[in-house]
Amino acid sequence: MLKKLIFIFFISPIFLMAQHTIKGNFSPPEDYNFAVLYKITPTSSLYIANTEIDQKGDFKFELDSTASQGMYKIVYALPQEEFNFDIIYNAKEDVSLTFNAEIGVNFKASIENTLVNSYTNSMSLISQSIGNFYKQESKDSLALQAIFKTQKETQIEYEKVAVGTIASNFIKANKPYVPTVHEDITTYIANLKKHFFDYVDFNNETLQSSNFLVDRVLNYVFGMVPDEDDEVAIYKRNIDEVFKAMKKAHPEIKCTLLEVIWQQMVDTNFDSVANYISDIYLIKIAESLKDTELVNNLKLFKSVSIGVKAPEFDVLVDENGERTPVSIYDLDVAKKYIVVFWSSSCSHCLEEIPQLQAYLKGLNNQDYKVIAIGLEDDAYQWEKEIAKYPEFMHVLGLGKWENKIGRSYNISATPTYFILDSEKKILAKPYNIIALKEYFEN
């Protein structure tokens, strides 16, 4: 569900009369080439059409009478899970919009979409007023009560206007906490957290077919973070509260939302929090759904997380004039090891590996040792390349992406770096040569 979507493409002649259109403009136009339209359900994404974005940034989809009402999504770049936005289509009206990456989507025509747009903007302005009031440490309780009165009345009015629309699902689910008496900032924030999910129905199919639930849980996990030192503990606590809030949700929804949070923690290098999600919640749910691929991925990530001992493999070392395989666990030639997975056929690698060599030479520090593992289809080009790096310890990983060492380190791209301490525990996983340099310089 949600991000776990099955994209179904039907390419066949259609000779039906156009009923409505979804059109708009992307700016700046030179940044966009295509747009793809999908009909979204909780379990799938049905391909509807694709179109080119012209030199002015304009695009247009013609919808026929078979296009049913519901949630649609426009994908405008790859990866499609990241570069997309939701559209409500009620099968009664045209949709017109503009899109800019900095501003987001703005609907020009379509009662349903402009209603959500207007509601979101109105509530955002009220939230800013509340924030400004507390920031200024004002003692004017009547002024604060007036702001909250406006917030409450605005919510009521939009709910009335939205009756019978698809938009109503989002307006009701987004209903804010409004105090009935004056609250100081600490009490107000505590109550915001407490009531954050009061009106969110995790089993609502319209919400499931949009980005709403994903955005909601991410806003809670990453947004409800007070100014405290122990960020990891706060994230874990927020995740516990999110799981409690969605206790009545279907297992598929829980699994999808937890996986989204898990991926965010992976991307931001909070490995311990990602593993907390896996160990406490996600593996159990994935096992109940018989999702063995997800279970294996979660366990594999944990095995190469920061703080754990790196998976073992052998390197060849010179002993008495012979090349002898030695476990990295037994290596004692440096205080820190840079393990880099690369390939002689990888253009990025051929750019970064010389930079790595030059950088370490510039440091002139004997405490660092590079172990370069070449993921290769054959040894011919690899042998020519490694001659340029005689100071590195080289390992040939035949089989490329299916190589045993690469798979044990969960390698899906090259170059990939790991920094190990003398005990072979993983200290860091820089995503490129720039991040690696920053690690050592800091």
**Per-residue pLDDT tens for 342-372?**
999 999 999 999 999 999 999 988 899 999 9
Alpha-carbon distance of 38 to 74, in angstroms, equals 7
Q: What is the pLDDT of residue 226?
A: 79
304, 426 contact by CB (below 8 A): yes
Contact between 48 and 8 under an 8 Å Cβ cutoff? The reply is: no
CA distance 419 to 425: 8
What residues pair up with 18 in beta bridges, in sequence order?
64
What distance in Å separates the CA atoms of residue 245 and residue 221, rounded to the nearest whole number? Answer: 12
pLDDT tens sequence across 93-114: 999 999 999 999 999 999 999 9
Place of tokens 């899970």: 81
Distance CA 17, CA 37 (A): 18
User: 341 by DSSP, 3-state: which?
Assistant: strand
Q: Which domains does the chain have, with CATH numbers?
A: 7-109 (2.60.40.1120), 113-303 (no CATH), 314-441 (3.40.30.10)
pLDDT, position 18: 56
> How sure is the predictor about 13, in pLDDT bands with cuts at 50, 70 and 90?
very low
User: Using CA atoms, how far apart are residues 271 and 63, in angstroms rounded to an integer?
Assistant: 45
Mean pLDDT of the chain: 93
| pLDDT tens, residue by residue, 281-317 | 999 999 999 999 999 999 999 999 999 999 999 998 8
At residue 8, the pLDDT reads 37
pTM of the model: 0.87
pLDDT-derived band at 14 (thresholds 50, 70, 90) equals very low
Calpha distance 325→314 (Å, rounded): 6
Alpha-carbon torsion 340, 407, 326, 330, what sign? positive
